[in-house]
Amino acid sequence: MAETVQSVDPRTGQAGPTYPASTPSDVRVAVTASAQAVGSPAWRDDERRAAFLRGAAARLREADGEIVALVQSETGLPEGRAVGELERTCRQLEAFADLVDAGDYVDAMIDTADPGAQPIPRPDVRRMLVPIGPVAVFGASNFPLAFGVAGGDTASALAAGCPVVAKGHPSHPGTSEAVAACLDAARADAGLPDGAFALVQGPGNDVGEALVDAPAIAAVGFTGSLAAGRALYERAARRPEPIPVYAEMGSVNPVVVTEGALAERADAIAEQLAGAVSFAAGQLCTKPGVVLVPEGASGEAFAQAVVDRLGAAGPQVMLNDRLRSSLGDRVQDLDADGNVQRLTPDGGAAEPGLRFDPLAFRAPAAAVRASRDLLEERFGPVVLLVTYASEDELLETAGVLEGQLTATIHAGAQEAELRRSLTDALSERVGRLIYDGVPTGVAVSTAMHHGGPYPATTAPAHTSVGMTAIARFLRPVAWQNAPQDVLPPALQDGNPLGIWRSVDGQLTRD
C-alpha cells in the first residue's frame, strides 16, 4: 500500500483527510526536472520569473477561501491569523518580483583596467551574483504559508533564479498541496518549464533525506527545531559535494526589563509580554521565552501581572501532538529543577484537541548562569522569568546567553548608560535588537534581519525574512578582461539593463 500523509485537526484531535506521500524516486524525478530548468532560456528571463511570482500571489488570493479553511483545519490557527499570513505570503512574492524587476540584486561591480596601477597593472575585472542552482525548501510547522511551500525561502530562491523543490510540512499536507497547485498554475501561465517548482511530501525522514542527498540540489532553506536543522546541516556536509544549509532553528529571545522601566510602565510591559508569550500558543520562533526582571517588590508585582494575564488567555491550541508532547517534557524538567518556581497552575488543559495552558516559571539569575539548560527554547506558551539583584548581575547574565534571533530591552528614561551597556552586550549575541516592544511580528522589509549567531541559525550572515534573503541563493562570479559579447548584460559597458552598478568604486547607472 502506498504511504500517505495524515492530516489532523489540532482543535479536536480528530484525523482528517490523507494525502499521497512522495517516494525517494519521486524526489529524484523532481530534482532532475529542476536541474533541467536551470538551463532553460525562459527560466533565465527575469520578466518571466517576476510574472511567475506575481501570478503566484494572484492565484493564492483567488483561492483564499479554500486555503484559509485548510490552514485552520490543519494548524488550529484562528481565521484572522490565517488570512493575515496568506496576505503576507502574497506580498512577499510581489516584493521579490519587484526586486527582480529592478535588477540591482545582482550587485554588479566593474573595476576598469589601469595599466599604471602599482605594484602591478590592474586588469579589467567585472563581478556579479548568479544563481546557485536548484534549492530544497523545507516548510515550517508554525507558518504554513509565510514559511511554507510558497513562503520566504521559496520566493527568494525563485527570485534569485533558482528552481525550488519544496517539502511540505507533514502537519499540513492539504495546505501544502493547495498552495503548490497555485504556484504550478502561475508557473505555467508565465511559460516557465515544469522543473521550476515542485512539491514533495512525506511523513518521515526518507523524503527529506533524499532531497538533501540529490546531487543537483545546491542549497537548503529550513525553518524548524535545532535538532532537525542540525541533522540537515550535518547530512549536507557529508555529501561528496557539501552544500550550504540556511537553517533558522529558534531562539529564547531574551527580554530585559529594568527597574526604571517598571517604575514607568510596568502594566504596559506585562500586557505586551503576556500577549507575545500566548499569541499563536507561543509557537513562534520570536516568542520571548526568557525575561530578566529585577528582584524586589516591583519585580514581584510585575511577575504577578504577567501570570494574571497568561491565565486570562486560557488554553492554547498547539500545532501538533509532537510539539505538545515535547513541551510537556520540557515543563516537567522545569518542575523537577529545585531552583525553579512554578508561578502558574498545572498545564495540559483537559479540553478537546491539542491544547496547552500558558505557564510562567521563575528562577534566580545565578541558577541560569550555572545551568545553561534553563536557557533552552520551550516552543509553546511558556516563559521563564529570571530575577537579578543588580545591574552588574544583569550584565553578567546577559553574557552567558547563546546566539539568539532577537533580544529586547525595556529601560527607563533615566537609564541611558545601562541601555547602552545592554545594547553592547546583547548585540554580540543576536541578529535583531528591539527597544520598548516585543520581538514577535517580523516586518518583511529591506533592512530586516531575521537570523543570528548559532544556535539560532547555521548562517548568521544571512536572513530568512526581507529582501536580502535572496543573497543566500546567489554566488559571485568575476569576469577578467572579458570581451563585451560574452559579458552578461548587467556587466556590459552600455548598462543595457539600467541598473545601479559600482564602477571603479562609485555607484552609478551610467
The catalytic site residues sit at 248, 285
DSSP state of 11: T
Cell of 332: 516537567
Q: What is the rounded CA–CA span in Å between residue 40 and residue 51?
A: 16
The label of the residue with cell 527545531 reads 225
Helix (H) or strand (E) holding 74: helix 64-75
Phi, psi of 158 (to 5 degrees): -60, -40
For 457, phi and psi rounded to 5 degrees? Answer: -145, 170
**Helix (H/G/I), strand (E/B), else coil: 388:** strand
Q: What are phi and psi of 129, to 5 degrees?
A: -90, 140
> 7: buried, middle or exposed (CB in 10 Å: 19+, 13-18, 0-12)?
buried
- Which residues contact residue 150 at a Cβ distance below 8 angstroms, ignoring those fewer than 6 apart? 56, 60, 89, 93, 166, 179, 180, 182, 183
Sheet of 501-503: strands edge to edge?
474-480, 125-131, 109-111, 501-503, 506-508
CA dihedral 30→36→37→42, nearest 10 degrees, is -150
Q: Which amino acid is at 165?
A: V
H helix and E strand count, the chain: 14, 21
Phi-psi region of 185 (alpha: psi -120 to 50; beta: other; left: phi over 0): alpha
**Helix, strand or coil for residue 212?**
helix
Residues with Cβ within 8 Å of residue 45, at least 6 apart in sequence: none
C-alpha distances out from residue 207 to 31, 147, 216, Å: 12, 19, 15
In whole angstroms, give the CA distance from residue 312 to residue 369.
32
